[in-house]
Amino acid sequence: MTHTIMSAGARTPIGKLGGALSSLTAVDLGAAAVACALERAGIDGSAVDTVLMGNVVQAGVGPNPARQLGAEFLAAVGGDVTVFNSQDRLAAIAGLAPVPRDSGRIRGNHRRPRRYDRRLLRVFYLSAQLSIVSCSESRTYYDRKRGEGKRHTQAVLALARRRSNVLWAMLRDDRLYIEPAAAPAAA
């Protein structure tokens, strides 16, 4: 079984268009960031199998929420995704799994846990909100939850839990997300 571990991270400096960094190529800046990350981690470059690089904000394009949330997820889990041995564990740490609030003979009451990682909850909540607009499957799931009588916040949290389950399965199986093909329209 392979384990994904983020040993260190580094970023390049931020510059202005045509400023002091304009003489450097993206490869030069990336090489400097990798060298710094290896130095911080105390790892010899020959021991590294894979280097993942990305940019959160690209010049002239604007912010990319998916990249920002992905970076925030990795920062929140410390880079080691093996700590989540089940999808329920990931949901519990993120505050997406309800906990019982039973009292005496009254059973079945649930509430949001008091202790959870607010960064992870933010990642999944914002991811769910953005997916309602951009993903037809997420929109259908959200509409179904609203049809069941759930308020907006409850429906978004239900979608966030579903998305956390999908992410955990992707990490477990070491697979990328492939959006299902759209169903052909009836003639």
Q: What dihedral angle (degrees, nearest 10) is formed by the CA atoms of 40, 43, 45, 50?
A: -90
| pLDDT attached to residue 144 | 95
| pLDDT attached to residue 156 | 92
Tokens found for residue 93:
């740490």
Largest CA distance in the chain: 72
Q: Measured on CA atoms in the order 62, 65, 66, 70, is the torsion positive or negative?
A: positive
Mean residue pLDDT across the chain? 78
pLDDT of 155 > 80? The answer is: yes
pLDDT of 141 > 80? The answer is: yes
For residue 99, CA distances in Å to 7, 88, 89, 131, 160 come to 33, 12, 13, 26, 16
Give the separation between CA 3 and CA 81, rounded to whole angstroms: 8
Residue spans of alpha helices (H) in the chain: 26-41, 65-77, 87-94, 118-134, 136-147, 152-173
Q: Measured on CA atoms in the order 124, 153, 117, 33, is the torsion positive or negative?
A: positive
| pLDDT attached to residue 130 | 87
pLDDT tens digits, 51-74: 776 665 555 555 667 767 777 777
| pLDDT attached to residue 186 | 56
| Predicted structure pTM score | 0.61
pLDDT tens digits, 84-129: 788 888 888 888 887 666 677 766 666 667 777 888 888 888 889 9
Give the separation between CA 166 and CA 130, rounded to whole angstroms: 16
